[in-house]
Amino acid sequence: MLELIKKNPVLVLSGILALASCFVVRPDMQYIGYINLRVLAILMSLMLVVAVLLRIGTFDFLTSKLLGRLHTSRSISLLLTALSFTLAMFLTNDVTLVTLVPFAIAVLKTFNDRRSLMFTLILMTVAANLGSMLTPIGNPQNLYLYSFYHIPLTAFLKLMLPYSTVSLLLIIISVFALCKNTSSAPLENKTAEAPGKAKLAICIALFVLCVLAVADVINWILMFFVTICIVILMDKKAFKYVDYNLLVTFVFFFVLTGNLGRIEQIYNALSKIVESSPVIAAVLSSQIISNVPAAMLLSAFTDNGEALVIGTNLGGLGTLIASMASLITYRFYTSMPNEENRKGLGYLPAFTLVNVVFLALLLLFYALIR
């Protein structure tokens, strides 16, 4: 049990809170309406498609191709952060980091510059968290809020584009400021084997199918059924890579937020707090419970969906748990064999400082264009 709490604190906490809320609001037929099956189906479908793409070596092949001709650590850092920013728009921030961080560590260790390695990993994490905010499928809270508030796709993109543009500029500046330009011999181009064309084409088709379901062009039930059937036929092992903990956490929060919305005193109190400043409420709550649970919790108390989209995306900056994807990089970094890195000395203060500066600048930008 302790191991479960340690590995999945948000899952356990959300489960306890959901169960506790059931004693206040006794289970009835309204519970059926709590669960947003559309969000769960789209999220699981995207996870499956990305899992197959990973298993056929798509991202290893593309990344090794791009890195083959670079000669300096800064150019590699710049490419890796740009890749993190771009891929997160379509693959989600956590999948992007799981894919790129191990590769980044392996490549940058050859330059023997721990400081640049550390800051590259931090900036890759920031880039993944900020790049993912542009699209509804970039991260789980975007998909949830996009569906919950029925935000048109063009409106969503228009809303987040200014923040994404400013974020990319800040990330590029930060790479030049924090990462040294150490020269080295050209990296040995050990190009990974190219993915099979047939499987790659099927994955791309399934990804397009998921996007069409997100945009309400096709029925999400049809999309889910087709995706499940094809993945079963093509690669059953991909199901092992689905983050079922995240899906169950969503279910727990659906129950919790549904019940809280039916408790009049709590609903009225939280509605007043959230409505007074939904963006700030989302940013602050994300620092404590992370931005995905914050989005689901606060959505029960405000009709201002756009403010929650902005607040929970910017709220992914700050503490290590503000975005659960940030823990992925931290785990990789602290698992490095070097004794200093294993203890994580220097990483957390540097991570927090960089994140707080980014958060402050983006909140200032929000205040200027509000």
Q: Please tell me what DSSP assigns to residue 219.
A: -
Listed in sequence order, the residues at least 6 apart from 97 whose beta carbon sits closer than 8 Å to its beta carbon are 84, 124, 125, 128, 325, 328, 329
Please tell me the distance from the alpha carbon of residue 330 to that of residue 217, in angstroms, as a whole number.
38
Please tell me the distance from the alpha carbon of residue 349 to that of residue 368, in angstroms, as a whole number.
29
pLDDT score for 194 = 78
pLDDT score for 234 = 92
In the chain, domain spans? 57-194+243-369
For residue 53 the two structure tokens come to 């793409």
CB 161 within 8 A of CB 141: no
Beta strands in the chain (DSSP E): none
| 239 Cα distance to chain centroid | 19
Please tell me the distance from the alpha carbon of residue 28 to that of residue 41, in angstroms, as a whole number.
24
Task: Give me the phi and psi of 72, to 5 degrees please.
Answer: -125, 155
CB 92 within 8 A of CB 143: no
pLDDT score for 215 = 72
User: Is the pTM above the cut of 0.85?
Assistant: no
pLDDT score for 4 = 67
| pLDDT tens for the chain, residues 1 to 370 | 666 666 677 678 778 888 998 998 888 888 887 787 887 888 788 889 878 888 888 767 776 776 666 667 788 889 999 999 998 998 788 878 877 887 788 778 777 778 888 999 999 999 999 999 999 988 889 988 998 899 999 999 999 999 999 999 999 999 999 988 776 544 555 556 778 888 899 999 998 898 788 777 889 899 999 999 999 999 999 999 887 887 887 788 778 777 876 777 777 777 777 878 899 999 988 887 778 888 888 888 888 999 999 999 999 999 887 887 887 788 778 777 654 444 445 888 999 999 999 999 999 999 998 7
For residue 135 the two structure tokens come to 């699209």
Centre a 10 Å sphere on the Cβ of residue 75 and count the other Cβ atoms it contains.
16
Please tell me the distance from the alpha carbon of residue 30 to that of residue 52, in angstroms, as a whole number.
37
CB-side neighbour CA atoms (13 Å) of 172: 7
pLDDT score for 344 = 45
Please tell me the distance from the alpha carbon of residue 54 to that of residue 27, in angstroms, as a whole number.
41
